[in-house]
Amino acid sequence: MTMTALVAPTVADYEASADLAALLVRTTQDDALSVSAETLRLSCKCAHCTRARFDGRFPATFPGIAITEIGDLGYGLNISFSDGHNRGIYPTPYLLSLAGR
């Protein structure tokens, strides 16, 4: 009996879309995924955003938000946005879940 290990997909490559409105991700399983900048901004789990949600002052939408910078942390991505927010850290499993994977 041969057992095959299941390998979870991980991020192989990433970039912002040409209009900066989405994060384009290619996984190690060669899936091409996309997550809108607004979804990413709304899904930020940093302490600042968590507190803003708790206090009821987190926006319901971020129309026109753009990705301005992407940093690779090894275990995930740090994404900065056009509203000046740069604390968003998206661990790979969370990022892939946002992309519907």
Q: What is the pLDDT, as a whole number, of residue 2? A: 58
Average pLDDT along the chain = 92
Residue with tokens 């900066």: 20
Structural domains of the chain, ranges and CATH numbers in brackets = 13-99 (3.30.2020.30)
DSSP annotation of 47 reads H
Q: What is the pLDDT, as a whole number, of residue 46? A: 96
Flag whether the pTM goes above 0.95: no
d(CA 73, CA 67): 17
Secondary structure of residue 32 in the 3-state scheme: strand
Q: What confidence tier does 28 reach under pLDDT thresholds 50, 70, 90?
A: confident
